[in-house]
Amino acid sequence: MQNASKASRIEIRPEEPLVVEAYLHPVMRIEIQREESSYPIVYENVINAYTKGLLYCVLFERNGKRVIHKFPIASLFRMVEDYDGGKR
Distance CA 16, CA 76 (A): 42
Q: Bridge partners of 48?
A: 59
- Specify the pairing of strand 55-62 against strand 28-34: unpaired
Of all residues in the chain, what percent carry a pLDDT higher than 90?
A: 44
The Cβ of residue 8 has, within 10 Å, a number of other Cβ atoms equal to: 6
The domain spans of the chain are 20-82
Cβ 68 vs Cβ 58: under 8 Å: yes
What mean pLDDT is predicted for residues 59-83? 91
Q: Render pLDDT for 24-51 as a digit per residue (tens, 0 to 9).
A: 554 789 999 999 888 999 998 899 999 9
